[in-house]
């Protein structure tokens, strides 16, 4: 059985063809493409039509590779961003990028109408300036013609799925990232949205992951010379898909989905919303089978990626592997950053931003690439420890191990540093966690496997994992890191 997963990240996308023989799953990367946001005037957009073009190329290549024998298609992407359709189903402009400046100051304006604690009690979602709630409030505040003319709002994977099938629905895990879902009811919080004068008639039906939501339109099938392939609404939030593929997630283990963002958490049968999760800004996002992904969203390898981008522009390109190898030569624990500091949020000039942060906090300023990369990796590992300790207080038990999944699981220095910093066993892999989770839900929807437990057993049987154990005591470094965090909060 051959199943096609489209996995869109913030910087690239892939079409992955999964082949299931009844006992093992194998993956072939059929098509890879860049995802390049576009600045126009003062706005940053996703090039959604280019992304759909690449999706069609992926279907063409998969059909050629598989003899047109594709059983189903699933799509996952990043969260929060949306497209708006008019009454005729036409797209009203390119979707704005979550790093666009339009949401600056919107959280504070929302909280003047609905206090932050009430927003959190209703939704259980971590406060991030780019959440869909603030994107829509920004459009409403600006009296946007886009919002005035909108008939339907769709998240990015829902929009791409609509382009394939013509069906307009919102999948639960991606909708849960919006901060617009009532955590208790699992449906749109229309009372909250009404208070903010955000239109609710644009919100489509919320469906669960695992639904076959349609098939390729006749016109698209003719264009691509393929059959009307069924399209499954998988766990469309990429982290939701990644967590599905965690090979063994028992009651005392945590997961860390590592990529541009780092998402560290546990699976919970229901949302955990209290003073501590509010104070530590933990989020309760939707998971498969309406479970809850209780997690902390941490700035991940974005900082490293931006440094590489800056160095490439300077004419001194090096691979990610070469850069991490360099880091071993730098002095340990020379300087730390808070990866979640606002100064690292926007693109551009990342090495200088790191130097400026270290200078402002009275630390030695990293100069070389090796020093900067080591600073990033140590700081991320220590931030993971901080998040794990918060999580242990929230759930009331000790985390025994951490499963790192996604592209970041290939980063051996960060995996070892995370074991050292947290003093916990680390299991790294699978690397293609998001695509695997996407395909597992397709297999369940197509009745090839029974449930999530059977899917995770399939992952264990199909993909290799790597274990890291603590090798050094990082307690002193952690104390210094916490002091830097406290100093940042007081000074900046």
> Mean pLDDT for each 10-residue chunk of the chain (492 residues)?
95 95 96 95 95 98 92 98 98 95 96 98 96 98 96 98 98 98 97 98 98 97 96 97 89 92 94 95 96 94 96 94 95 97 92 97 97 98 97 96 94 97 96 96 97 95 96 98 86 54
For residues 492 and 490, give the distance between their C-alpha atoms in angstroms, rounded to a whole number. Answer: 6
Q: What is the pLDDT of residue 10?
A: 85
* Residues 62 and 15 sit within 8 Å (Cβ to Cβ): yes
* Residues 434 and 237 sit within 8 Å (Cβ to Cβ): no
Cα–Cα–Cα angle for 229, 165, 183, nearest 5°?
110
* Residues 119 and 134 sit within 8 Å (Cβ to Cβ): no
For residues 83 and 261, give the distance between their C-alpha atoms in angstroms, rounded to a whole number. Answer: 22
For residues 62 and 71, give the distance between their C-alpha atoms in angstroms, rounded to a whole number. Answer: 11
Which residue shows structure tokens 């009331």? 396
Q: What is the pLDDT of residue 490?
A: 66
Which residues, 6 or more positions from 130, have their beta carbon under 8 angstroms from its beta carbon? 80, 98, 99, 103
Strand partners, 83: 154
Phi, psi of 9 (to 5 degrees): -105, 180
Q: From the candidates 76, 189, 238, 340, which is the catalytic residue?
A: 238
Pairing of strands 170-171, 206-207: parallel
Which residue shows structure tokens 């769709």? 154
List of domains in the chain: 2-236 (3.30.420.40), 246-429+450-492 (3.30.420.40)
Phi, psi of 320 (to 5 degrees): -60, -40
Closest CA to 19 of 55, 57, 62: 62
Q: What is the pLDDT of residue 43?
A: 94
For residues 440 and 244, give the distance between their C-alpha atoms in angstroms, rounded to a whole number. Answer: 8
Active site residue 238: yes
Q: What is the CA radius of gyration of the chain?
A: 22
- Token pair belonging to 372: 């900067």
- Token pair belonging to 75: 């799509």
Cα–Cα–Cα angle for 146, 151, 157, nearest 5°?
85
- Token pair belonging to 455: 């899917």
Going from the C-alpha of 188 to that of each of 170, 247, 353, the distances in angstroms are 11, 32, 39
Going from the C-alpha of 255 to that of each of 250, 273, 275, 387, the distances in angstroms are 10, 20, 23, 12
Strand partners, 266: 294
The secondary structure of residue 43, as a DSSP letter, is E
Which residues, 6 or more positions from 465, have their beta carbon under 8 angstroms from its beta carbon? 247, 427, 428, 429, 430
Going from the C-alpha of 65 to that of each of 16, 28, 62, 68, 398, the distances in angstroms are 11, 10, 5, 8, 47
Q: What is the pLDDT of residue 461?
A: 94
Which residues, 6 or more positions from 319, have their beta carbon under 8 angstroms from its beta carbon? none
Q: Mind spelling out the 3-state secondary structure of 445-468?
A: HCCCCCCHHHHHHHHHHHCCCEEE
The secondary structure of residue 416, as a DSSP letter, is H
* Residues 165 and 59 sit within 8 Å (Cβ to Cβ): no
Cα–Cα–Cα angle for 34, 320, 479, nearest 5°?
120
- Token pair belonging to 317: 């390109």
Neighbouring C-beta atoms of residue 178, cutoff 10 Å: 26
């Amino acid at each position: 059985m051959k199943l096609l997963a489209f996995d869109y990240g913030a910087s690239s996308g892939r079409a992955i063809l999964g082949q299931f023989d009844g006992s093992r799953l194998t993956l072939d990367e059929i098509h890879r493409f860049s995802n390049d946001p576009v600045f126009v005037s003062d706005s940053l957009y996703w090039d959604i039509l280019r992304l759909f073009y690449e999706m069609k190329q992926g279907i063409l290549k998969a059909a050629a590779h598989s003899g047109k024998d594709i059983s189903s298609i699933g799509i996952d992407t990043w969260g929060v961003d949306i497209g708006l359709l008019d009454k005729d189903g036409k797209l009203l402009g390119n979707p704005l990028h979550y790093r666009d400046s339009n949401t600056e100051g919107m959280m504070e304006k929302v909280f003047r109408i609905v206090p932050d604690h009430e927003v959190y009690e209703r939704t259980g979602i971590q406060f991030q300036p780019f959440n869909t709630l603030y994107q829509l409030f920004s459009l409403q505040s600006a009296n946007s013609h886009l919002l005035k003319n909108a008939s339907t709002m769709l998240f990015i994977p829902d929009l791409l799925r609509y382009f394939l099938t013509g069906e307009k629905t919102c999948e639960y895990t991606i909708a849960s990232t919006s901060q617009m879902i009532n955590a208790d009811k699992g449906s749109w919080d229309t009372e909250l949205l009404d208070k903010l004068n955000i239109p609710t008639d644009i919100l489509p039906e919320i469906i669960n992951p695992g639904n076959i939501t349609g098939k390729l339109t006749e016109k698209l099938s003719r264009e691509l010379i393929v059959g009307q392939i069924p399209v499954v609404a998988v766990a469309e939030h990429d982290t939701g898909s990644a967590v599905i593929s965690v090979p063994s997630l028992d009651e005392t283990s945590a997961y860390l989905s590592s990529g541009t963002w780092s998402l560290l958490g546990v699976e919970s049968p229901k949302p955990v919303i209290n003073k501590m999760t509010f104070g530590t800004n933990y989020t309760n996002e939707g998971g498969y089978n309406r479970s809850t992904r209780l997690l902390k969203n941490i700035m991940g390898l974005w900082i490293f990626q931006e440094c590489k981008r800056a160095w490439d522009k300077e004419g001194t390109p090096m691979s990610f592997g070469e850069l991490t190898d360099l880091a071993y030569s730098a002095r340990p624990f020379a300087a730390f950053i808070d990866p979640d500091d606002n100064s690292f949020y926007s693109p551009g000039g990342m090495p200088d931003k790191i130097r400026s942060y270290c200078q402002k906090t009275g630390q030695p300023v990293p100069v070389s690439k090796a020093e900067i990369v080591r600073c990033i990796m140590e700081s991320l590992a220590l931030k993971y420890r901080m998040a794990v300790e918060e999580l242990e207080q929230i759930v009331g038990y000790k985390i025994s191990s951490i499963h790192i999944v996604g592209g970041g699981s290939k980063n051996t220095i960060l995996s070892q540093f995370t074991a050292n910093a947290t003093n916990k066993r680390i299991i790294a892999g699978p690397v293609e966690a998001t695509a695997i989770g996407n395909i597992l839900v397709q297999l369940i929807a197509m009745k090839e496997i029974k449930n999530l437990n059977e899917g995770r057993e399939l992952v264990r049987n199909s993909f290799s994992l790597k274990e890291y154990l603590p090798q050094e005591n990082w307690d002193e470094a952690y104390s210094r890191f916490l002091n830097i965090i406290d100093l940042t909060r007081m000074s900046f």
